[in-house]
Structure 1
Amino acid sequence: MENLLPLFKAIKSDFCNIVNYKLRGTTIEIITGIQTITNAVVSIFVSYKDGKIVVSDGGWINEGEYETYYAEHDSDEVIDLVVSQYTSYFDIKSVRSNSGTVYYYKSTDRIEHLSSIAHDVAHFIAYTVSAQHTTYRITNEEKTQKTVFTNQVNNALKSQFGDRNVFTNEYIKLKDEQSVKINSVVRIIHRDIYKQFYLMYVSGSRLDAFIKDATEATSKFQLIDQFGVKDSYLQKIAVLNKSAAGYNPQKSGIFLKQLEETTGRPLIEIDANTSMRNLLDALPHN
């Protein structure tokens, strides 16, 4: 145990988002100040193994220790893409224990590199858990409700900008020949400048469905920020269905705040009274 405390001190000296620690036998759990989109605090686990310092998630991602609205881990496009991209981005490795638990980790034999890999593992956990939160089964009723709202927004965009400038269900290329699908893209020439607007729609007949849409939009926009083509004129827009039965800003506030921070602009709320005016007023006329 005595050998573990210097590891905590080494990380804390360079990694300001450290709250506390717990000794767990031959491992020290370090509680960070980093939070997932579900408001869960991220913990990392540090130990010695085969002469190296290992920083891992402690198997907590696989074991469901972080709160999600949907705990079953069915295959999902967003989750698979996020995990693949961020394991590559942060150079994360994984291993399966004899009991079947998957551990995500990084290791080093130099203590001066410890803070850096602790930072990587902690942020990998935050992104991955946030992606898991987007998974849940969509009912036929939910599909119908979402389809109606999607068609309303798409029709309004095409009426304003024309079919040639609006691309629905568009795949945005990322690195390593991967891509992510978003609801729509508007491409126009405005004041002699080529501009693109990436749009994601947030709706839902239940609170968990609405939150799922919000977290999925956040995850996809984050992937585009990290791995998409850089474009200084690109704008990310989230369109909220304020008339949806699942719309409850008091209970979904933290997820909407995360989405707004990711887009870098106010969320656009649409209801039966405003029609599509809020959305169209936020976009330039070509």
Structure 2
Amino acid sequence: MDNIFETIVQAYQSLWHFKDYGNTLEIITPVATVNNMFVSIFITKRGDNYIATDGGWIDAGLYECEINWKANVFNKIGAFYLESFEIQRIYVKERTFYYKRIDQLELLPNIVFDLANFVNAIVSSANIQFVSDRVDMTFKKEVRGYLRREFGVDRFEYDKPLSDNMTIRFNAIERNHRGVNLINFVSGSNSSYYASSLCRSNMNFQLILPLRDRYSIQNTVTLLDDRKRSIIESPQVQTYYDYLIDNQNDKNKVILWSQKADLAQAI
């Protein structure tokens, strides 16, 4: 049994890493979030106090998620974890820092452990889509209103499949004498929701490709909500966005909402 214990301890210890920044020590813990990122905790000493913080990484989006404290469900979850782990927060240099403070060196591992688990809980919770994304629904409503005003009330069908025997739905379908144009709307209140919306849109267009001639599909258009640049430029979204841009052509087009006037030439 001693060998088992030593094996586990050695393996666990090897997962801890440190980076020394002079007055600050970064501890890269073995605590991993649901999106497979290891939690880092930053230690500084001020006077007689040792302070452990998340380094502002949650607020900066370095865990590839966006914390929406205004969302009713998440606000309750966040408040629960803040209270349970006795975490404090402070806004410094346009960024929120979550932290714990201690004045006894021997208790420092305790606050590192608490803060690491808090970061994991918050980041992991933010990656769960509890309800339909309201931003996504609001964007759909806004786009539909724009299409009706600019192109006429009856020009598009909304959230329907191409035929009754198909399960794939598209946000807007235009049928004309030349064929069919398909539009999908991409939006989301945080990086995870946005990336999910982008992937779903791209997958639906990929699935319809073999049936392009059968349904006389002329153009597919991905309409991207670009009003919140921090989301569309986040690492979690950028990979999928770059793929979409690299693969666009005369038949598969990408249009930003800020350039929605280009829709007239795309369909």
Q: TM-score range by the shorter chain?
A: 0.3 to 0.5
TM-score, length basis structure 1: 0.42
Larger Rg: 1 or 2? 2
TM-score, length basis structure 2: 0.45
